[in-house]
Amino acid sequence: DQQVKQNSPSLSVQEGRISILNCDYTNSMFDYFLWYKKYPAEGPTFLISISSIKDKNEDGRFTVFLNKSAKHLSLHIVPSQPGDSAVYFCAASEAGTYKYIFGTGTRLKVLA
Amino acid sequence: EPEVTQTPSHQVTQMGQEVILRCVPISNHLYFYWYRQILGQKVEFLVSFYNNEISEKSEIFDDQFSVERPDGSNFTLKIRSTKLEDSAMYFCASSVDRGPYNEQFFGPGTRLTVL
């Protein structure tokens, strides 16, 4: 039951360039989407979120884009820094529920 | 900055034994959650808890699992008779409210190893 999919298990980007992480979903009832960052031996850390009534949300170097018709969201990190190297999880939730459905994660490596 | 804490960081147990994983959610949060991540797999929802009762649970959360808020600060997950396949990282999370813009904040996790 892969309602949230991150098809790229890994991504390498040069420091200073843009990192684009992608996420696709199948459940049209999802109304809230989030990105979490996870370092080894730590819990997921909230990064940025977007409600389904918006198509873009920006917070500093991080921007999330939502394309509801394509059931696709992406996270842009500009400029990428070595400290951004981590596993990034996309998550979604449906109105009226409590749970987050997570994707499998994308390991981002930012090269100095 | 307030954070969710979890103890122990690593728990090793024999198959069939009971384990209790402990969490202290952020103090003004009202919603509490447990998730788990089996090695190499995605983070999976187990259960949510609000107002001293389970508000939602997944099919993973069977009769072997229970949750409790024994006092005003702790939130626990009990596995009555552990199985090998219960080996995973268990994450506790909490949120002020549910729904958009009430993000769940995660603890560092407890690694459970069942031998």
**pLDDT digits 0-9 by tens, B39-80:** 888 999 999 999 999 999 999 999 999 999 988 789 999 999
User: How far apart (Å, rounded) are the C-alpha atoms in residues B12 and A40?
Assistant: 19
- Nearest CB to B109; choose among A43, A97, A100: A43
B24: which 2 tokens? 């202290």
Q: Count CB atoms within 10 A of the CB of residue A38.
A: 21
The residue behind tokens 């892969």 is: A2
CA angle B86-B106-B89, nearest 5°?
A: 20
Q: What is the mean pLDDT of residues B5-19?
A: 97
Per residue in A71-103, pLDDT (tens digit) is: 999 999 999 999 999 999 999 999 888 899 999
Strands A19-25 and A106-111: unpaired
Q: Which residues of A touch B31 (CB under 8 A)?
A: 98
Contact B42 A89 (CB under 8 A): yes
Contact B91 A43 (CB under 8 A): yes
Sign, CA torsion A29/A33/A37/A42: negative
pLDDT-wise least confident of A11-25, A49-63, B88-102: B88-102
Q: Phi and psi of B52, rounded to 5°?
A: 65, 25
Report pLDDT for A12: 97
B67: which 2 tokens? 């949750």
Residues belonging to chain A with any Cβ–Cβ distance to chain B shorter than 8 Å: 31-32, 34, 36, 41-46, 49, 51, 89, 91, 93, 95, 97-105
Shortest distance, CA B103 to any CA of chain A (angstroms): 7
Per residue in A26-83, pLDDT (tens digit) is: 999 999 999 999 998 889 999 999 999 999 999 999 999 999 999 999 999 999 999 9
Sign, CA torsion A95/A55/B105/B90: positive
- Nearest CB to B43; choose among A31, A93, A102: A102
- Nearest CB to B103; choose among A49, A97, A105: A49
A38: which 2 tokens? 């996870």
Identity at A73, one-letter amino acid code: L
Q: Which residues of A touch B4 (CB under 8 A)?
A: 43
Q: What is the mean pLDDT of residues A10-30?
A: 96
Identity at B23, one-letter amino acid code: C
CA-derived radius of gyration, chain B: 13
Report pLDDT for A30: 94
A1 or B36, greater pLDDT: B36
The answer on pLDDT for A23 being more than 80 is yes
The answer on pLDDT for A1 being more than 70 is no
Nearest to A103 by CA among A39, A22, A46: A22
Q: Is the peptide bond before B8 cis (omega within 30 degrees of 0)?
A: yes
Identity at B47, one-letter amino acid code: V
Instruction: Evaluate whether B29 touches B53 at the Cβ level (below 8 Å).
Output: no
Q: Which residues of A touch B50 (CB under 8 A)?
A: 98
Report pLDDT for B86: 97
Q: What percent of chain B has pLDDT over 90?
A: 86
Contact B109 A45 (CB under 8 A): no
Contact A31 B100 (CB under 8 A): yes
Q: 3-class DSSP state for residue B14?
A: coil
Determine which of A6, A49, A99 to mutate to test the interface with B (most B C-beta atoms within 10 Å).
Answer: A99
- Nearest CB to B108; choose among A42, A97, A101: A42
Report pLDDT for B61: 96
The residue behind tokens 């560092």 is: B108
The pLDDT confidence band at residue B6, using thresholds 50, 70 and 90, is very high
Report pLDDT for A47: 96
Q: What is the mean pLDDT of residues B22-50?
A: 94
